[in-house]
Amino acid sequence: MTGEQLAAFIDHTLLRPDATAGMVQQLCDEAKQYGFAAVCVPPCYVPLAQEHLGSDAPVKLATVVGFPLGYQHEKVKMLETELAIVEGANEIDVVMNIAAFKSGNYNLVQEELANLTEYCELHGVTLKVIIETALLSQEEIVKACEVCAAANVHYVKTSTGFASRGASVADIELMRRSLPDHIKIKASGGIKTFAEAEALVKAGADRLGCSASIRIINNE
């Protein structure tokens, strides 16, 4: 795999709390220059990123919802999603309600995700669900995939980047075995090298969330 080929898998990401408007503009410029699949920016910067990318850019615009802990009220997550879409986002990365999931309240989690999926589909928007694999056992990762599949989400994503670890090849392989073929996988968190990124793609990741994107594709 070449760096150019790998770039097409990457969501060029800036979600640090001290992200500035200038950083977001640079992120968008880099995404267009290197051919990244998407940029992923904080919700407050969606209008700026949409304006800076321009209407004809092939780069998708992603933002986060319920980030980074996931236990916001469902109505709050829905409002975040609605606002993000109105302001120009065409991909939503939402954190699953991990607290409810850990409590065994799978129906609540599934209903929330199904409602978000339905809303996103009505607006032609992709929904990626972050399950935060660092907080889950292998059995819980399998169950989370089952819940996401029942909600018919578009992607299941490993991590926020704010937990103790990010994606691993083992996580991706387990998720791929546990999900139907039509549901894609996004690996994120802690991806630093070309070799790591390539291994995650080979394991079954369809997208990679990276903040070190340029260093990765240049194999630096």
Q: Which of the residues 77, 128, 143, 186 is marked catalytic?
A: 186
Give the orientation angle of helix 21-34 with respect to helix 46-53, to 10 degrees: 40
Our answer to whether residue 186 is catalytic in this structure is yes
Cα separation, 70 vs 103, whole angstroms: 14
The helix or strand, by DSSP H or E, that contains position 5, with its residue range, turns out to be helix 3-7
Q: Which of the residues 77, 157, 171, 184 is marked catalytic?
A: 157
Q: Which of the residues 11, 77, 93, 171 is marked catalytic?
A: 93
Residue whose tokens read 């009505």: 122
Q: Find the angle CA(122)-CA(128)-CA(131) to the nearest 5 degrees.
A: 135
Cα separation, 141 vs 143, whole angstroms: 5
Our answer to whether residue 184 is catalytic in this structure is no
Our answer to whether residue 93 is catalytic in this structure is yes
Q: What is the distance, to the nearest Å, from the Cα of residue 218 to the centroid of all Cα atoms in its chain?
A: 22
Cα separation, 210 vs 214, whole angstroms: 9
Residues 66/72/78/84 CA torsion (nearest 10 deg): -30
Indicate which residues carry an active-site annotation.
93, 157, 186
